[in-house]
Structure 1
Amino acid sequence: MALTTLKDRVLAATQQAPATGGRPAPASAEEGHVQAPATVLEAVAGDPVQESADAVLTWLRRYEGHVTDALPAHMEAGPFLAAVRNVLPSLRFCNPASVLQATLTAARFGLVPDGREAVITKEFGRAVFIPTYRGFIALMHRTGRVGSVRVGMVYEGDEYSYEPSAPAPLDFTLKQDPARSKSDRGAPLFAYAFAWSTDGHRSQVVTVNREEMEKVRDEYSRAYAEAEASGKRDSFWHTHPIEMWWKTAVRQLERVVPVSAEVRALVVADRAGEAGQVQLLHAPDPEAATLKTEADAAGEAAEASQDQASAGPVRKASLVKRSQPRRSSRKARRGRAGRRS
């Protein structure tokens, strides 16, 4: 069956790559496909300076329109594409379909891959989109229900109290001496996260201790397992352990905080990336997002009309009282004019 859409072609080319990240498997002649290039540099073969960022950017420009269309309406394409341009040199030996998939996934979630909200990195021969804990917080803020999110770490030398049965904010208190260095504070005990809603309520406190963090890392992160097996120890769990610990806590806020479907989808896409699976399948679709926005607007309009209907008799009566004298006065004027004539 012919692959007609960009999404179909990206998924097919990405899934052709073997699990260890080598060259994609050649497509059969009966399917009518040409073997996909193994790397981005191979995709732009013929460029006189293939190793340059410009050569890789030439490849990306072929799909710039698709990336721009995938961005949420509130985002400008310029800063996003600039961030992608900066990271492309490190991805030049990745499978090109995976680079496009990671870029489109980041675009659909509206997270700039500049190292703050998200990154696009190379893992087992593929480009992978990785949202940071700040990326999860950014999407929570976009719901309009979450006012702020607090995430941090409790160390051995900190003074804290955690009593889940107590009412907020007495259930969790933490005192830290900012003058003390991290080495003086001892080893990290657990990460915590909680959110304040826009109406002033505070969520349940989520905690992740070391054992829980290591269980998540060992069970879900293929990159960590590969880095351990190879001895490189260069996965994000190795290079940014505290931030990954924080992200584990923030990601679990999705269970106790009213969040959007995008936040839940980001959790699934993040897990897919950790497992080396296709992430684009879980990213929000622009067309579906538009339909959802229209449906939400229609729902709000219907709800508003119901509110008006419930309060209708009072408001209708007041309108009649204001309008009736005008009609009667016009009739009276016409009547007086007829009598004069």
Structure 2
Amino acid sequence: MALTTLKDRVRAATTERPEPTADIRPAQVVADATPEELHAAEQAEGGETTAAIMKWLDQYGEHFSGALPGCVPAATFMAATRAALPSLTRCTPASLLQALLTCARFGLLPDGRQAVIRCEDGRAVFVPMYQGYVELMYRSGQVGSVHVGLIRAGDEWSVEPSAPAPLDFTFKPALLKDPAERGEAVLAYAFAWLAGGARSQVIILTRPDAEAIRDQYSQAYQRSEESGARDSFWHTHFYEMWRKSALRRLFGLVPTSSELTALERADDAGDGGQVQVVHAPGEDVQALAKAVAAHRAAEGSPELQPAAIAIRPSSRKKSLPPRSQPKRTTRKSRKGKGKTR
């Protein structure tokens, strides 16, 4: 019997069946439903839609395991994913798969601390937080410690660039004062102690500096302002974005890894509404292409085309046409006789 309602498809996907037929498969609950239907079902069914989406994501378990670095267990990543899904049921499945694979590629958890998967106009977007950047800095092995924070008006601090480190920057937070006495945040700072024992320059970022970065570079902020939604991360998580801006300025002063460079590119691509997959094994490309083929017709969304995915060149050597034989040239000797070279 054909499944006609989302409720039936959800229950079919979350019920163990020894031999599922071609008409009843876990992916169908995601493929056949619009984002609005998924969100409504999640609210009405008390979490069954989340379970169905997790079943659908299980089909790509090998791709997630292949993308994750060895230091991040797949079970830990999927547990963080499950916790994030209730707020993502309005996202298109293809964009959700893309955002999660990108998050896994960098070995960051979508737990709201290292990274966030947010829904923007029905599209899932991977947003690395400043703690995620710090995590990758530690993994590079080139820094011993990273310090990022906010200074409030009631704290004690001083900046003297001409003094030798660490006297050029001192900070004593007024931890015993009430929040009202500490006042509003006035500065963000970021610095690192390198593995060799040296300390980097201290980055100091005022609130006007952060707002200038937001206004000039954040396309997501501009889109949110123009639409009147005012729900970009610069609107809802200003302090976190302020810290991240200070930390990103630090990258020009300390040794950075290719992973951090790729993370910056993915971060900027997501802010600009572009495809974020900057690297994916061939298997991940197949998974994304399969997801697009399954969902594009139902959703009417051309947002993620397989051709738009940027991948690292395959290790398999391409067959090249045979080289043409070099022409034999002759050079006359001083005596006028020809010699072959």
Range into which the TM-score falls when normalised by the shorter chain: 0.5 to 0.7
Alignment RMSD, CA only?
Answer: 3.0
Give the letter aligned to residue 207 of structure 2: R
Question: Could you say which residue in structure 2 is the equivalent of 1:324?
Answer: none
Match of residue 243, structure 2, among 242, 246, 250: 246
Q: Give, in whole Å, the separation in 1 of the partners of 2:210 and 2:280.
A: 28
Q: Which residue of 2 aligns with 1:89?
A: 86
3-state SS of 1:190 partner: strand
Q: Which moved more, 1:49-58 or 1:96-105?
A: 49-58
Unaligned runs of 5+ in 1: 1-35, 292-341
Residue-pair matches, total: 253
Instruction: Assess, with a 3 A threshold, how the Cα gap between structure 1 residues 51 and 39 changes in structure 2: closer, same or farther.
Output: farther
Aligned to 1:188: 185
Partner residue of 1:117 out of 98, 114, 117: 114
Q: CA deviation at 1:273?
A: 1.0
Q: Is the 8 A contact 2:200 2:253 kept in 1?
A: yes
Q: TM-score, normalised by structure 2?
A: 0.67
CA contact (8 A) 1:94 1:122 kept: yes
Are 1:133 and 2:130 matched, yes or no? yes
AA partner of residue 255 (structure 2): P
Which residue pairs with 1:58 in the alignment? 55
Q: 1:289 to 1:176 in 2, by over 3 A?
A: farther
- Going from structure 1 to structure 2, the CA distance change for 1:289 and 1:251 (only over 3 Å counts) comes to farther
Q: CA deviation at 1:181?
A: 2.7
Tell me the percent identity: 52
Structure 1 position 71 matched with structure 2 position 88 = no
Give the letter aligned to residue 94 of structure 2.
A
Verify the 8 A CA contact 2:279 2:312 in the aligned structure 1.
no
Aligned partners of 2:140, 2:269: CA distance in 1, in Å?
A: 23
Instruction: Indicate how the Cα distance of structure 1 residues 149 and 289 shifts in structure 2: closer, same or farther if over 3 A, else same.
Output: farther
Verify: 1:268 aligned to 2:265, yes or no: yes
SS in 1 for 2:131: helix
Pair 249,283 (structure 1): closer, same or farther in 2 beyond 3 Å: farther
Quick one: distance in 2 between partners of 1:80 and 1:274? 23
Take 2:34 and 2:123, find their aligned partners in 1: how far apart are those partners? 9
Compared with structure 1, are the counterparts of its residues 78 and 235 closer, same or farther at alpha carbon in structure 2 (3 Å cutoff)? same
For structure 2, the residue ranges without an aligned partner over 5 or more in a row are 1-30, 39-43, 283-310, 316-341
Which 10-residue stretch deviates more, 67-76 or 127-136?
67-76
Q: What are the superposed Cα offsets for residues 189-238 of structure 1, whole Å, 9 maximum, x if unpaired? A: 22000001122211111121112211222233333334334444333222
- TM-score (normalizing by structure 1): 0.67
Q: Which has the higher helix share?
A: 1
- Call closer, same or farther: CA 1:263–1:39 in 2, change over 3 Å: farther
User: How has the CA–CA distance of structure 1 residues 139 and 284 changed in structure 2, closer, same or farther, with 3 Å as cutoff?
Assistant: farther
> In 1, are the aligned partners of 2:69 and 2:106 still within 8 Å (CA)?
yes
1:179 matched to 2:176? The reply is yes
Greater CA radius of gyration, 1 or 2?
A: 1
What is the rounded CA distance, in whole Å, between the counterparts of 2:116 and 2:51 in structure 1?
Answer: 20
1:152 to 149, 153, 163: 149
* Partner residue in 2 for 1:203: 200
Distance 1:149 1:289 in 2: 33
Aligned-partner residue type, residue 188 of structure 1 = A
The superposition leaves residues 157-210 of structure 1 with CA deviations (integer Å, 9 ceiling, x where unpaired) of 333221223221111112232112332223322200000112221111112111
AA aligned opposite 1:207:
I
SS of equivalent to 2:157: strand
Match of 2:253 in 1: 256
Deviates more, 1:206-215 or 1:217-226: 217-226
Does residue 279 of the first structure (1) align with residue 279 of the second (2)? no
Q: 1:137 to 1:81 in 2, by over 3 A?
A: same
Q: 2: distance between equivalents of 1:87 and 1:188?
A: 29
